[in-house]
Amino acid sequence: MGKLMAVGSMIRQDWFRLYAGCMFLLGCQYATNAFPVSFFPAFADDLGFHSMTTGLILAAYPLGMSISSQVAPLIIWRIGTRNTCVLGLSVMAPIIACFGFVPDVADGNDARGVLFFLVQFFAGMCGALPETTCFIMIGSKFKEHSAAAMVG
């Protein structure tokens, strides 16, 4: 009986680690991508961007996520959950860093606007991979309590 309880607690510990790891990953991802959003409109005004251009740039990240999340399950199935998370985060990190270099690289507001949009779009495409992976893993591990698990 003691062995059975130990196995049950080990499974619960694995589930807890999975859940905590996914929530940490999602929290870091949201914090990383939400932080610039609060400062970008003022910076865009200083650059002379129209408010519509600023809105399009900020909408590029969710647009990339919505497109990439459609194919993310195929990528997860093909290369596995760990590799998908590592791939998405490894590619997203330098892309997000490039966001800060756009004003130094491009001359003129049109070129800067296009580069800002593309950087945000591709960061969103890469960001959907680990996020979709976390949601799939949580949904499959917490089947009987999936609604509560997704709420957090």
d(CA 132, CA 58): 21
Q: What is the pTM of this model?
A: 0.79
Does pLDDT of 146 surpass 70?
no
Question: In this structure, are residues 128 and 121 in contact, taking their beta carbons and an 8 Å threshold?
Answer: no
Share of the chain above pLDDT 90, in %: 36
Q: What is the DSSP letter of 72?
A: H
